Amino acid sequence: MKLARYLLPLAALAMTTGYGFAQTATPAPPTTKPAVTAPAPAQADTGKKTTLSAADKAAKSKECSAQADQKGLHGKARKRFRDDCKRH
């Protein structure tokens, strides 16, 4: 009987605590969109990329391949060199 005197209140406490935690949920993220700010003023872009035509890209690729051949590059080193060459 002494055991029941301690177990019943503990069980009731555990149940009410669990119920309280179950009722608290994380708040939902706001559904409103953030305010749109004015765009930043245009800055002079010195590293501006230009779009190349297919013929220009092919010529650049051949040029980079020729440079890689002159350096005697193969495998991953050649691929890395050509990728860097074509970007610049």
- Core vs surface per residue 20-51: b (16+ CB within 10 A) or e: eeeeeeeeeeeeeeeeeeeeeeeeeeeeeeee
Per-residue confidence (pLDDT) for residue 1, from 0 to 100: 60
In a domain, 33, yes or no: no
| pTM summary value | 0.43
Residue 62 lies in a domain: yes
Query: Is 70 within the bounds of a domain?
Result: yes
pLDDT of residue 11: 81
List per-block mean pLDDT (blocks of 10 residues) for the chain, which spans 88 residues: 74 72 65 68 62 87 94 93 91
| 58 within some domain | yes
